[in-house]
Amino acid sequence: MTRLTRLMLLLSVLLWATPGQAETFWDEDFENHLYPQWTGATGCTPLLSASNPDSVCGNPSLSTDTAHSGTHSLKSVYNATCGMDSGPGCGSFMDRFHPAVGTVFLRWWEKLVSFTPNDVTGSKFVYNKSSTVPDETFWHIFPGQVTHGAQVNSNFYNRLCPNGSTDSSCNLFSNAGNVNVLDAQWHCVETQMTASGANLSNGLARLWVDGTLVLEYLNMPTTNVPTTYDFITLYTQMGNGTRYVDDQAVGDTRIGCGGSGSGGDTTPPAVPTGLAVR
Protein backbone atom coordinates (compact mmCIF):
# COMPACT_ATOMS: atom_id res chain seq x y z
CA MET A 1 0.00 0.00 0.00
CA THR A 2 1.44 3.34 -1.03
CA ARG A 3 1.72 6.29 1.33
CA LEU A 4 -0.95 8.17 -0.65
CA THR A 5 -3.33 5.22 -0.42
CA ARG A 6 -2.81 5.01 3.33
CA LEU A 7 -3.53 8.71 3.72
CA MET A 8 -6.69 8.47 1.61
CA LEU A 9 -7.90 5.50 3.67
CA LEU A 10 -7.28 7.35 6.94
CA LEU A 11 -9.11 10.43 5.64
CA SER A 12 -12.13 8.39 4.56
CA VAL A 13 -12.37 6.71 7.98
CA LEU A 14 -12.21 10.04 9.80
CA LEU A 15 -14.84 11.61 7.54
CA TRP A 16 -17.13 8.63 8.08
CA ALA A 17 -16.74 8.91 11.85
CA THR A 18 -17.42 12.65 12.14
CA PRO A 19 -21.24 12.32 12.55
CA GLY A 20 -20.64 10.46 15.81
CA GLN A 21 -20.03 13.86 17.41
CA ALA A 22 -23.75 14.68 17.11
CA GLU A 23 -26.71 12.67 18.27
CA THR A 24 -30.40 12.08 17.78
CA PHE A 25 -31.35 11.17 21.33
CA TRP A 26 -34.63 9.48 20.48
CA ASP A 27 -37.16 9.22 17.67
CA GLU A 28 -40.73 8.44 18.74
CA ASP A 29 -43.16 6.92 16.23
CA PHE A 30 -46.03 6.44 18.75
CA GLU A 31 -46.51 2.84 17.63
CA ASN A 32 -46.13 1.45 21.16
CA HIS A 33 -47.15 2.35 24.70
CA LEU A 34 -46.46 5.87 25.99
CA TYR A 35 -45.15 4.64 29.37
CA PRO A 36 -42.36 4.33 30.49
CA GLN A 37 -40.74 6.67 27.95
CA TRP A 38 -43.32 9.37 28.63
CA THR A 39 -44.18 10.48 32.16
CA GLY A 40 -45.70 13.48 33.88
CA ALA A 41 -49.32 14.50 33.35
CA THR A 42 -49.44 15.48 37.04
CA GLY A 43 -52.47 17.68 36.43
CA CYS A 44 -54.82 14.72 35.93
CA THR A 45 -55.68 11.19 37.04
CA PRO A 46 -54.86 8.48 36.20
CA LEU A 47 -51.19 9.13 35.56
CA LEU A 48 -49.12 7.29 33.01
CA SER A 49 -48.09 4.09 34.75
CA ALA A 50 -47.23 0.46 34.15
CA SER A 51 -50.85 -0.47 34.89
CA ASN A 52 -52.22 2.16 32.49
CA PRO A 53 -49.40 2.82 30.03
CA ASP A 54 -51.36 4.91 27.50
CA SER A 55 -53.60 7.06 29.69
CA VAL A 56 -52.98 10.80 29.87
CA CYS A 57 -56.56 11.56 30.95
CA GLY A 58 -57.38 10.10 27.54
CA ASN A 59 -56.19 13.36 25.96
CA PRO A 60 -53.66 13.21 24.38
CA SER A 61 -53.84 9.55 23.45
CA LEU A 62 -52.57 7.08 20.87
CA SER A 63 -54.79 6.95 17.80
CA THR A 64 -55.20 5.07 14.53
CA ASP A 65 -57.26 7.89 12.94
CA THR A 66 -54.29 8.95 10.83
CA ALA A 67 -50.50 8.55 10.83
CA HIS A 68 -47.50 10.03 9.11
CA SER A 69 -45.74 6.68 9.34
CA GLY A 70 -46.87 3.30 10.58
CA THR A 71 -50.44 3.04 11.87
CA HIS A 72 -50.50 5.27 14.99
CA SER A 73 -50.03 8.90 15.95
CA LEU A 74 -50.62 10.98 19.09
CA LYS A 75 -54.07 12.62 19.07
CA SER A 76 -54.85 15.78 21.04
CA VAL A 77 -58.35 17.24 21.19
CA TYR A 78 -58.41 20.97 22.01
CA ASN A 79 -61.66 22.10 23.65
CA ALA A 80 -62.46 25.82 23.43
CA THR A 81 -64.61 25.71 26.58
CA CYS A 82 -61.77 24.51 28.83
CA GLY A 83 -59.70 27.68 29.09
CA MET A 84 -56.67 27.03 31.31
CA ASP A 85 -58.25 23.89 32.81
CA SER A 86 -56.12 20.79 32.25
CA GLY A 87 -58.52 18.34 33.90
CA PRO A 88 -60.14 15.27 32.32
CA GLY A 89 -61.64 16.02 28.92
CA CYS A 90 -59.80 19.32 28.59
CA GLY A 91 -56.38 18.00 27.69
CA SER A 92 -53.19 17.52 29.61
CA PHE A 93 -49.45 17.20 29.12
CA MET A 94 -46.71 14.59 29.19
CA ASP A 95 -42.92 14.79 29.51
CA ARG A 96 -39.95 12.92 28.10
CA PHE A 97 -36.36 13.45 29.17
CA HIS A 98 -33.23 13.65 27.04
CA PRO A 99 -29.53 14.32 27.80
CA ALA A 100 -28.89 17.84 29.10
CA VAL A 101 -27.68 20.15 26.31
CA GLY A 102 -27.33 23.86 25.74
CA THR A 103 -28.65 23.52 22.19
CA VAL A 104 -31.61 21.26 21.50
CA PHE A 105 -33.28 20.44 18.17
CA LEU A 106 -36.78 19.05 17.77
CA ARG A 107 -38.51 17.48 14.80
CA TRP A 108 -42.12 16.42 14.60
CA TRP A 109 -44.81 15.86 11.99
CA GLU A 110 -48.19 17.36 12.74
CA LYS A 111 -51.67 17.50 11.23
CA LEU A 112 -54.21 20.06 12.44
CA VAL A 113 -57.87 19.32 11.70
CA SER A 114 -60.49 22.11 11.97
CA PHE A 115 -58.07 23.84 14.32
CA THR A 116 -58.38 27.39 15.68
CA PRO A 117 -55.89 28.79 18.21
CA ASN A 118 -57.24 30.46 21.33
CA ASP A 119 -57.97 34.10 20.48
CA VAL A 120 -56.25 35.41 23.64
CA THR A 121 -53.33 33.12 24.43
CA GLY A 122 -52.81 31.06 21.29
CA SER A 123 -52.37 27.29 21.57
CA LYS A 124 -49.60 25.38 23.35
CA PHE A 125 -47.89 22.55 21.49
CA VAL A 126 -44.34 21.65 22.61
CA TYR A 127 -42.02 22.93 25.34
CA ASN A 128 -38.23 22.82 25.69
CA LYS A 129 -37.61 22.77 29.44
CA SER A 130 -34.91 22.62 32.09
CA SER A 131 -35.39 20.57 35.25
CA THR A 132 -32.88 22.70 37.18
CA VAL A 133 -33.86 26.32 36.41
CA PRO A 134 -37.19 27.97 35.48
CA ASP A 135 -36.21 28.57 31.85
CA GLU A 136 -38.41 27.24 29.05
CA THR A 137 -39.45 27.83 25.47
CA PHE A 138 -42.78 26.76 24.10
CA TRP A 139 -43.57 26.42 20.43
CA HIS A 140 -47.16 27.27 19.61
CA ILE A 141 -49.51 29.21 17.33
CA PHE A 142 -50.34 32.79 18.32
CA PRO A 143 -53.93 34.11 18.17
CA GLY A 144 -55.09 34.68 14.61
CA GLN A 145 -51.97 33.05 13.12
CA VAL A 146 -51.71 30.14 10.70
CA THR A 147 -48.01 29.45 11.21
CA HIS A 148 -45.85 28.71 14.22
CA GLY A 149 -44.23 31.02 16.73
CA ALA A 150 -42.54 30.68 20.11
CA GLN A 151 -42.36 32.20 23.56
CA VAL A 152 -39.19 32.25 25.68
CA ASN A 153 -39.92 32.33 29.41
CA SER A 154 -37.88 32.74 32.56
CA ASN A 155 -39.75 33.23 35.81
CA PHE A 156 -37.02 35.27 37.47
CA TYR A 157 -35.25 37.09 34.63
CA ASN A 158 -36.41 40.22 32.86
CA ARG A 159 -34.54 40.57 29.61
CA LEU A 160 -34.68 42.77 26.53
CA CYS A 161 -37.09 41.12 24.08
CA PRO A 162 -36.73 41.37 20.29
CA ASN A 163 -39.68 43.80 20.14
CA GLY A 164 -37.83 46.24 22.42
CA SER A 165 -39.82 45.52 25.59
CA THR A 166 -38.32 44.24 28.84
CA ASP A 167 -40.12 41.22 30.19
CA SER A 168 -39.65 37.72 31.61
CA SER A 169 -41.59 36.35 28.59
CA CYS A 170 -40.64 37.23 25.02
CA ASN A 171 -42.94 36.48 22.08
CA LEU A 172 -41.19 35.33 18.91
CA PHE A 173 -43.28 35.68 15.76
CA SER A 174 -42.42 34.31 12.32
CA ASN A 175 -39.91 36.70 10.80
CA ALA A 176 -37.85 34.78 8.24
CA GLY A 177 -40.43 33.18 5.94
CA ASN A 178 -44.06 32.23 5.64
CA VAL A 179 -45.32 28.66 5.42
CA ASN A 180 -48.95 28.30 6.45
CA VAL A 181 -50.00 25.24 8.41
CA LEU A 182 -52.85 23.99 6.23
CA ASP A 183 -55.89 22.15 7.53
CA ALA A 184 -55.85 18.36 7.41
CA GLN A 185 -52.35 18.12 5.94
CA TRP A 186 -49.17 16.69 7.46
CA HIS A 187 -46.42 19.28 7.99
CA CYS A 188 -42.86 18.78 9.21
CA VAL A 189 -41.90 21.16 12.03
CA GLU A 190 -38.28 21.57 13.18
CA THR A 191 -37.00 23.80 15.95
CA GLN A 192 -33.69 24.85 17.44
CA MET A 193 -33.24 26.49 20.84
CA THR A 194 -29.86 27.57 22.18
CA ALA A 195 -29.65 28.96 25.71
CA SER A 196 -27.55 32.08 26.10
CA GLY A 197 -24.72 32.26 28.57
CA ALA A 198 -25.69 33.77 31.93
CA ASN A 199 -26.59 37.43 31.31
CA LEU A 200 -25.21 37.23 27.77
CA SER A 201 -26.92 37.94 24.45
CA ASN A 202 -25.85 34.85 22.51
CA GLY A 203 -28.96 32.67 22.58
CA LEU A 204 -30.97 31.85 19.49
CA ALA A 205 -34.25 30.34 18.30
CA ARG A 206 -35.06 28.92 14.87
CA LEU A 207 -38.09 27.18 13.42
CA TRP A 208 -38.58 25.47 10.06
CA VAL A 209 -41.85 24.30 8.49
CA ASP A 210 -41.52 21.76 5.69
CA GLY A 211 -37.82 22.58 5.45
CA THR A 212 -38.32 26.35 5.08
CA LEU A 213 -36.92 28.67 7.77
CA VAL A 214 -39.82 30.77 9.06
CA LEU A 215 -38.48 32.03 12.40
CA GLU A 216 -34.96 33.10 13.37
CA TYR A 217 -33.92 35.21 16.35
CA LEU A 218 -30.20 35.59 17.02
CA ASN A 219 -28.17 37.17 19.83
CA MET A 220 -30.92 36.84 22.44
CA PRO A 221 -30.46 36.92 26.21
CA THR A 222 -32.45 33.93 27.48
CA THR A 223 -31.22 33.39 31.02
CA ASN A 224 -29.32 34.91 33.94
CA VAL A 225 -28.01 31.56 35.21
CA PRO A 226 -26.26 28.65 33.45
CA THR A 227 -28.95 26.64 31.66
CA THR A 228 -29.24 23.33 29.85
CA TYR A 229 -32.41 21.79 28.45
CA ASP A 230 -33.14 18.20 29.46
CA PHE A 231 -36.78 17.39 28.70
CA ILE A 232 -39.69 18.28 26.46
CA THR A 233 -43.37 18.58 27.25
CA LEU A 234 -46.20 17.90 24.81
CA TYR A 235 -49.22 20.04 25.71
CA THR A 236 -52.91 19.90 24.81
CA GLN A 237 -54.19 23.24 26.00
CA MET A 238 -55.90 26.37 24.70
CA GLY A 239 -57.68 26.33 21.34
CA ASN A 240 -60.27 24.33 19.48
CA GLY A 241 -59.88 21.38 17.11
CA THR A 242 -57.76 18.25 16.76
CA ARG A 243 -54.00 17.91 16.47
CA TYR A 244 -52.10 14.77 15.46
CA VAL A 245 -48.35 14.39 16.12
CA ASP A 246 -46.08 11.68 14.73
CA ASP A 247 -42.36 10.95 14.43
CA GLN A 248 -41.24 13.24 17.26
CA ALA A 249 -37.44 13.37 17.54
CA VAL A 250 -34.96 15.18 19.79
CA GLY A 251 -31.23 15.72 19.33
CA ASP A 252 -28.33 18.13 19.60
CA THR A 253 -28.05 18.73 15.85
CA ARG A 254 -30.66 19.38 13.18
CA ILE A 255 -32.51 16.12 12.48
CA GLY A 256 -34.33 16.86 9.22
CA CYS A 257 -37.71 15.69 7.97
CA GLY A 258 -36.56 12.32 6.63
CA GLY A 259 -37.05 9.03 8.43
CA SER A 260 -40.18 7.62 9.93
CA GLY A 261 -39.25 7.13 13.58
CA SER A 262 -38.10 3.83 14.97
CA GLY A 263 -38.45 4.34 18.70
CA GLY A 264 -35.11 2.59 19.11
CA ASP A 265 -31.51 3.66 19.55
CA THR A 266 -30.63 6.13 16.81
CA THR A 267 -27.31 7.31 18.23
CA PRO A 268 -24.57 7.30 15.54
CA PRO A 269 -21.33 5.47 16.31
CA ALA A 270 -18.74 7.34 18.33
CA VAL A 271 -15.61 8.70 16.72
CA PRO A 272 -12.83 6.06 16.95
CA THR A 273 -9.88 6.93 19.18
CA GLY A 274 -6.33 5.63 19.06
CA LEU A 275 -6.79 4.72 15.41
CA ALA A 276 -3.72 3.57 13.48
CA VAL A 277 -3.63 2.65 9.82
CA ARG A 278 -0.80 0.45 8.65
* Percent over 70 (pLDDT), the chain: 81
In a domain? residue 273: no
pLDDT tens per residue across span 125-182: 999 999 998 889 999 999 988 889 999 998 778 988 999 999 999 999 999 998 989 9
Identify any residues that bridge with 61 across adjacent strands, giving them in sequence order: 75
Q: What is the mean pLDDT of residues 188-211?
A: 94
In a domain? residue 133: yes
Task: Quote the CA–CA distance of 86 and 42 in Å, as a whole number.
Answer: 10
In a domain? residue 16: no
Model pLDDT, residue 82 = 75
The model's pTM? 0.83
Task: Quote the CA–CA distance of 72 and 96 in Å, as a whole number.
Answer: 18
What residue type is assigned to position 165 of the chain?
A: S
Indicate which CATH number applies to the domain containing 72: 2.60.120.200
Please, what is the average pLDDT of the chain? 83
Task: Quote the CA–CA distance of 29 and 15 in Å, as a whole number.
Answer: 30
In a domain? residue 198: yes
Residue 16 main-chain phi, psi, to 5 deg = -65, -35
Q: Which residues contact 78 (CB under 8 A, 6 or more apart)?
A: 91, 115, 123, 236, 237, 238, 239, 240, 241, 242, 243
Domain count, the chain: 1
Model pLDDT, residue 274 = 41
DSSP 8-state code for residue 39: B
In a domain? residue 261: no
Model pLDDT, residue 129 = 95
pLDDT band at residue 270, thresholds of 50, 70 and 90?
Answer: very low
CA 259 to chain CA centroid, Å, is 16
Q: Could you tell me the residue range of the domain that residue 242 belongs to? A: 24-251
Between residues 10 and 196, which one has the greater pLDDT?
A: 196
pLDDT tens per residue across span 60-93: 999 999 999 999 999 999 987 776 665 656 778 8
In a domain? residue 99: yes
In a domain? residue 13: no
Model pLDDT, residue 228 = 93
In a domain? residue 59: yes
